[in-house]
Amino acid sequence: MLKVLINIPRLIRIVRVFLKYDLGEFVPIKMLYGFARVIFVTRIIFPKAKDSPSKSYRLRKALEDLGPVFVKFGQMLSTRPDLISDDLATELTKLQDDVPPFSGKLAKDLIEQAYGKPLDKHFSVFESDPVASASVAQVHRARLHDGTVVIVKVLRPAVEEVINRDIQLLYFLACFAERYFSEARRLRAIELVNEYKKTINDELDLMREASNASKLRSNFADSEIIYVPKVYWEHTRSNVMVMEEVTGIPIRDIDAIQEAGVDLRRLAHNGVEIFFTQAFRDGFFHADMHPGNIFVGLDGQYKAVDFGIMGTLGDEDKLYLAENFLAFFNRDYRRVAEAHIRAGWVPPDTRVDEFEAAIRAVCEPIFAKPISEISFARLVVRLFQTARRFNMPIQPQLVLLQKTLFNIEGLGRQLYPGLDLWETAKPYLERWVKDQIGPAAILKDLRQELPRLAPMIPKLSTIGSELLRETKEARQASVSHREEVYSLRSEIRFRRLKLRIIMLGFVILLIGLMGLAIGGMEDVSQIPSWAFAVSLMLSGLAVMVLGVTRTYKQ
């Protein structure tokens, strides 16, 4: 109840904003039982926006009005075309995470608090005016004492408290939405908030982001197609990160890139190669590769920034993904279905034939188009949509992969509309799979394992003898256990038979008594005692004979 009371003012504001943009269908009356008067008043104060071109546009404007956390949530939702319509996803990509900067003096104070010493001990120059400002952090340019120009990223003051409060509100709204809207249940609103919470929390730890950048830089240390800036660890803290400044042409400025003489076709193909190399060679990829985070050098080299969101893939995920992609290229839908089940992405009891038919129904119409019109990323989205119908749970690593694939393919086709991602990706994946499961891969694994196995080689004969002995003992124990089971079963059958014989004796005795009664003997005491004795002796003798026979058989 306390949470409800705390959230009331913000809930009222959300309702007012949604009604302002004529989004009343997103506001269930049951949920707003206590706010009925507010609803009616706001309907009068804020009439319908008659010039709204679409519901998607109005929803984007509402999220912008609600502030940075809702903007970032909308941005995250825009990367989930497997959950929302294409027009809504397109509209939400227009959301901008631009907020007014906080003062340069406050930024200096926060940095000095993090360092525990004056700013001039670290920088010879620090520019008070930020070069960029967003909802989580802002960036300033500075100069180290050795003359190196760097960028300094500093978290906003009290940003964690603000975000945690807003996440609690999002949880509150998601619970209500799933209760009152079937569409929210289909979208799994609570899972979406969980996904958003993890993403935003990763962005709040600048030491983590610095570590991500260092690892990516190491992975591409000798690359000629992508450059990752250096982290200055001695100046980096959990809320302050210092990196080498990246200079280049923003990748969205295609005219400037052309004027610089960069080959756009090669640039587009390099982007695809960078993505697949990160995902399949390294299992570690930049998962926020939108145009604002990419620059291009005069030599055509990609220059990446902002490493707060990274994706990881384990060896099994990489192998199953490659198998899926190659099966797509060959339109082998059964293999796609089987790979999903083996990977554990759908329940193990999923019927392969039904899943295969569902995938075929989605993919065949897409393959009927010319190859230049087929979006590889959208095909993957359609696959995930189909898999969700078969109870595929959210796979965070696949969600980030899907998002990155969308960004890379979209960006590549902006640079070079004739980009055929299939043509670029298929040879790479075929080589990668061959490298993973071919003879060379086996020898490589043996070389890697040899240092660990070498000390065990002299002990192999002893280990073999012990293994044979344990196998023999296990076999003997198995035989002994089988004999015990057979004996137990025989004992159970024997006891059941004894019980049946005794019951049969009593039944015979009862029938005899009934016969005597019918014959006119009403007093049981008139029955000779020897008759009872004979009946009991016969029953006992039968049991004894049975027991002797059983013992003889054993």
- pLDDT tens-digit map of 483-536: 555 565 665 565 555 555 555 555 565 555 555 544 555 444 455 555 555 555
Beta bridge mates, 137:
155
**Confidence check: pLDDT of 118 > 80:** yes
* Pairing mode of beta strands 249-250, 294-296: antiparallel
Q: Are 128 and 108 in contact (CB under 8 A)?
A: yes
CA distances from 78 to 56, 82, 86 (A): 11, 10, 9
**Which of 81-90, 197-206, 415-424 bottoms out in mean pLDDT, i.e. has the lowest?**
81-90
Average pLDDT over residues 455-478: 61
For the chain, the C-alpha Rg in angstroms (whole number) is: 37
Residue 292, helix vs strand vs coil: helix
DSSP 231: B
> Is 208 buried (19+), middle (13-18) or exposed (0-12) by CB count in 10 A?
middle
Percentage of the residues of the chain whose pLDDT score is greater than 90: 27
Q: Which tens digit of pLDDT belongs to each residue from 43-76?
A: 545 555 455 568 888 888 888 888 777 887 887 7
Identify the CA nearest to 120 among candidates 155, 152, 144, 141. 144
Q: Please give the structure tokens belonging to residue 217.
A: 């830089």
Chain-centroid distance of CA 341 in Å reads 16
Q: Which residue has the tokens 């009991």?
A: 536
Sheet strands (E) in 264-340: 284-286, 294-296, 302-304, 310-312
Share above pLDDT 70 across residues of the chain, in percent, rounded to a whole number: 70
Q: Say if residue 42's pLDDT is above 60.
A: no
Give the SS3 label for residue 348.
Answer: coil
Hey, what are 510's tokens?
């009862």
Tell me which of 82, 288, 317, 420 is the catalytic residue.
Answer: 288
Local structure of residue 524 (DSSP, 8 states) = G
Tell me if the pTM is above 0.75: no
Least-confidence region, from 107-121, 181-195, 284-298, 530-544:
530-544
Q: Which of 40, 83, 78 shows the shortest CA–CA distance to 59? A: 78
- Rounded to whole angstroms, the Cα distance separating 244 from 538 reads 104
Tell me which residue of 332, 339, 425, 337 sits closest to 375, measured CA to CA. 425
Q: Are strands 284-286 and 310-312 parallel, antiparallel or unpaired?
A: antiparallel
Of 28, 19, 36, residue with least CA distance to 180: 28
Q: How far apart are CA 434 and CA 436, in angstroms?
A: 5
Tokens matching residue 10: 């913000």
- Tokens 């059983």 sit on residue: 550
* 288 counts as catalytic: yes
Does the pLDDT at position 297 exceed 80?
A: yes
Q: Which of 342, 323, 343 is nearest to 332 (CA)?
A: 323
- CA angle (223, 228, 232) in 5-degree steps: 130
Can you read off the two tokens belonging to residue 184? Answer: 């929210």
Q: How far apart are CA 152 and CA 140, in angstroms?
A: 5
The least confident of 121-130, 320-329, 410-419 is: 320-329
**What is the rounded distance in angstroms from the CA atom of residue 282 to the CA atom of residue 293?**
20
Angle formed at CA 178 by CA 46 and CA 309, multiple of 5 degrees: 90
Q: pLDDT by residue (tens digit) across 338-353?
A: 888 888 888 888 899 9
* Other beta carbons within 10 Å of 321: 20
Picking from 442, 444, 447, 430, the residue whose alpha carbon sits closest to that of residue 280 is: 430
Question: What is d(CA 195, CA 193) in angstroms, rounded to the nearest whole number?
Answer: 5
The greatest distance separating any two alpha carbons of the chain, rounded to the nearest whole angstrom, comes to 128
pLDDT tens, residue by residue, 182-230: 767 766 788 888 888 888 888 889 999 999 999 999 999 989 999 999 9
Helix residue ranges, H only, 330-438: 333-343, 352-367, 376-389, 396-415, 421-437
